[in-house]
């Protein structure tokens, strides 16, 4: 039997989202859930390495719509003819309002599954309780869409709660680029939630750059549901945040679906950066790929938790996971937790994990050819990030690699 994405089955609308027009109700249920369970604590298995106590203590208030003090045209857009949206602290400040939740916030059938099963529900519930706006990309033609989220700092910490809903119709090719950047002094924390559905044989390339300064908490939960023969490829480059955690829950729901999460965490100073992935193989003949590369400097802390869950019916699963970390400082630390949970018997799953300093031998080889040590290191680190973004269009790939180069040249503290 086919398992269709929940969104396609009206009879399966669940919980407090049963009646999506009743905004007050789903908000208050999310709040009730949040109050009952609280902000995730390190006592929870999935939160062992990341502590949100500081975020909770900051006592941020829900963000208000801010004034934009600059021209959105000056933002670091990557693709010339893309459709462009700018959100500030979770509110639309530039772009076509028809591509946002704003106008029909109460009509969209929100995804409530994560409240039950994902990141222990709390961050999803927190977003549901306070979201006001966000991209609503219900695509029926091929498109490239760029979204820039600007965090405009405030004297008293605020919390931005952008909600993103992406639905790609069958057979389409879409590219969505999201950038999270900071503006102004002061603090605004972000707790984003993204619900993504990729219908049969569609391809979605989702690129996310998190470059939001070094003082903020940046949380995001991405729930992707992928149908027959469809692909969802998520590429990320994480640079910013005092504390950040991005979580993915990718469900491969029908045969031939493919999910990938490939990205780099560049962590320095006293930053804490966490990527946590759950890939669920819920149908046969699906493939998944997790390729994570971390560079840690200073007193930084890195986390990668990656789980492949293969259901009993998911025969011929091909699941791949590799996490490589280069440590530039012996004060930095990396926590890695790979997990395989396999109930089918005919599957191919692999995971690997390396952590170490840059190799001496190639470093010496480059230096023996006259290349100064700093440049030799930079060459090796560039090579380490290497092919991560190679499958992306040239202008996107170049922008990402350029940002990596900037970090290697000036970002390490």
Partner 1 sequence: MLEIKNLHAAIDGKDILKGIDLVVPKGQVHAIMGPNGSGKSTLSYVLAGREEYEITDGTITLNDKDFTAMAPEERAAAGMFLAFQYPIEIPGVQTTTFLKTSVNAIRKQNGQPEMDALTFLKTLKAKAEKLGVSDEMLKRPLNVGFSGGEKKRMEILQMAMLEPSFAVLDETDSGLDIDALKIVSEGVNALRGPDRSFLVITHYQRLLDYIVPDVVHVLAGGRIIKTGGPELAKELESTGYADVIEAA
Nearer to partner 1, 345 or 360 (CB): 360
Beta bridge partners of 178: 147, 208
End-to-end, the C-alpha distance of the chain in Å comes to: 54
DSSP E strands, 161-257: 163-168, 173-183, 188-198, 203-211, 217-226, 231-238, 243-252
Q: Strand pairing of 83-88 and 91-94? A: antiparallel
3-state secondary structure of 234: strand
**Max Cα-Cα span within the chain:** 69
Beta bridge partners of 211: 181
CB of 376 to partner 1, least distance (A): 8
Q: Which stretch binds partner 1 (CB under 8 A): 62-70, 142-150, 239-247, 362-370?
A: 362-370
CB of 265 to partner 1, least distance (A): 18
C-alpha–C-alpha distance, residues 236 and 403, integer Å: 12
Q: Which stretch binds partner 1 (CB under 8 A): 158-166, 232-240, 273-281, 365-373?
A: 365-373
CB of 363 to partner 1, least distance (A): 9
Nearer to partner 1, 142 or 373 (CB): 373
Beta bridge partners of 279: 250, 308
Structure tokens at 140: 């029926």
Q: State yes or no: residue 362 binds partner 1 (CB under 8 A).
A: yes
What number of chain residues touch partner 1 (CB under 8 A)? 22
CB 406: neighbour CB atoms within 10 A?
Answer: 12
Select from 373, 391, 398, 402 the one that contacts partner 1 (CB under 8 A). 373
Nearest to 321 by CA among 381, 356, 279, 281: 279
Nearer to partner 1, 12 or 354 (CB): 354
Select from 11, 361, 394, 410 the one that contacts partner 1 (CB under 8 A). 361
The one-character DSSP state at 238 is: E
Nearer to partner 1, 10 or 370 (CB): 370
User: From residue 321 to residue 360, what is the string marking binding to partner 1 with x (rule CB under 8 A)?
Assistant: ---------------------------------------x
Q: State yes or no: residue 405 binds partner 1 (CB under 8 A).
A: no
Nearer to partner 1, 122 or 385 (CB): 385
Nearer to partner 1, 105 or 371 (CB): 371
Q: Is there a contact between 42 and 54 (Cβ–Cβ < 8 Å)?
A: no
Nearer to partner 1, 67 or 394 (CB): 394
Q: Which stretch binds partner 1 (CB under 8 A): 140-148, 163-171, 339-347, 377-385?
A: 377-385
Select from 372, 395, 398, 402 the one that contacts partner 1 (CB under 8 A). 372
Q: State yes or no: residue 370 binds partner 1 (CB under 8 A).
A: yes
| Range 378-397, binding partner 1 (CB under 8 A) | 379-380, 382-384, 386-387
C-alpha–C-alpha distance, residues 153 and 260, integer Å: 33
Q: Is there a contact between 112 and 15 (Cβ–Cβ < 8 Å)?
A: yes
Nearer to partner 1, 203 or 401 (CB): 401
Nearer to partner 1, 48 or 367 (CB): 367
Ramachandran assignment for 370, one of left (phi > 0), alpha (psi -120 to 50 degrees), beta (any other): left
C-alpha–C-alpha distance, residues 101 and 95, integer Å: 13
Q: Is 52 exposed, middle or buried (0-12, 13-18, 19+ CB in 10 A)?
A: buried
Q: State yes or no: residue 365 binds partner 1 (CB under 8 A).
A: yes
Nearer to partner 1, 17 or 392 (CB): 392
Select from 116, 142, 339, 375 the one that contacts partner 1 (CB under 8 A). 375
3-state secondary structure of 210: strand
Nearer to partner 1, 252 or 376 (CB): 376
Q: Strand pairing of 301-310 and 333-342? A: parallel
Q: Which stretch binds partner 1 (CB under 8 A): 16-24, 130-138, 188-196, 367-375?
A: 367-375
The tokens 């086919």 sit on which residue? 2
| Range 6-25, binding partner 1 (CB under 8 A) | none
Binding site for partner 1 (CB under 8 A): 360-362, 364-373, 375-376, 379-380, 382-384, 386-387
């Amino acid at each position: 039997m086919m398992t269709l994405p929940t969104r396609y089955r009206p009879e399966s609308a669940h919980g407090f989202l049963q009646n999506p027009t009743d905004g007050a109700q789903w908000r208050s249920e999310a709040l009730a859930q949040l109050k009952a369970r609280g902000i995730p604590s390190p006592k929870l298995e999935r939160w062992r390495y990341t502590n949100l106590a500081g975020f909770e203590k900051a006592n941020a208030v829900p963000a208000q719509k801010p004034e934009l003090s600059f021209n959105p045209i000056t933002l670091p857009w990557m693709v010339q003819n893309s459709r462009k949206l700018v959100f500030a602290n979770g509110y639309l400040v530039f772009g076509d309002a028809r591509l946002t939740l704003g106008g029909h916030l109460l009509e969209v059938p929100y995804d409530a599954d994560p409240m039950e099963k994902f990141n222990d529900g709390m961050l999803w519930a927190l977003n549901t309780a306070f979201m006001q706006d966000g991209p609503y990309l219900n695509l029926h033609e091929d498109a490239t869409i760029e979204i820039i989220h600007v965090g405009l700092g405030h004297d008293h910490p605020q919390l931005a709660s952008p909600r993103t809903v992406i639905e790609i119709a069958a057979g389409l090719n879409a590219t969505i680029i999201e950038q999270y950047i900071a503006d102004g002094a002061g603090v605004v924390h972000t707790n984003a939630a993204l619900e993504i559905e990729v219908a049969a044989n569609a391809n979605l390339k989702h690129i996310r750059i998190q470059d939001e300064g070094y003082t903020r908490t940046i949380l995001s939960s991405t729930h992707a549901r992928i149908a027959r023969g469809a692909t969802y490829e998520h590429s990320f480059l994480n640079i910013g945040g005092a504390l950040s955690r991005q979580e993915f829950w990718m469900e491969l729901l029908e045969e031939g679906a493919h999910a990938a999460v490939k990205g780099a965490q560049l962590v320095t100073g006293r930053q804490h950066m966490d990527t946590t992935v759950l890939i669920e193989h819920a149908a046969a003949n699906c493939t998944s790929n997790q390729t994570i590369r971390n560079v840690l400097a200073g007193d930084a802390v890195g986390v990668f938790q990656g789980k492949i869950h293969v259901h009993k019916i998911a025969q011929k699963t091909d699941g791949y996971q590799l996490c490589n970390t280069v440590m530039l400082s012996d004060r930095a630390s990396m926590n890695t937790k790979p997990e395989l949970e396999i109930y089918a018997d005919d599957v191919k799953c692999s995971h690997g994990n390396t952590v170490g300093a840059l190799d001496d031998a190639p470093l010496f080889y480059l230096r023996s050819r006259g290349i100064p040590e700093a440049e030799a290191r930079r060459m090796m680190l560039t090579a380490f990030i290497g092919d991560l973004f190679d499958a992306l269009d040239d202008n996107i790939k170049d922008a990402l690699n350029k940002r990596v180069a900037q970090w290697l040249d000036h970002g390490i503290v």
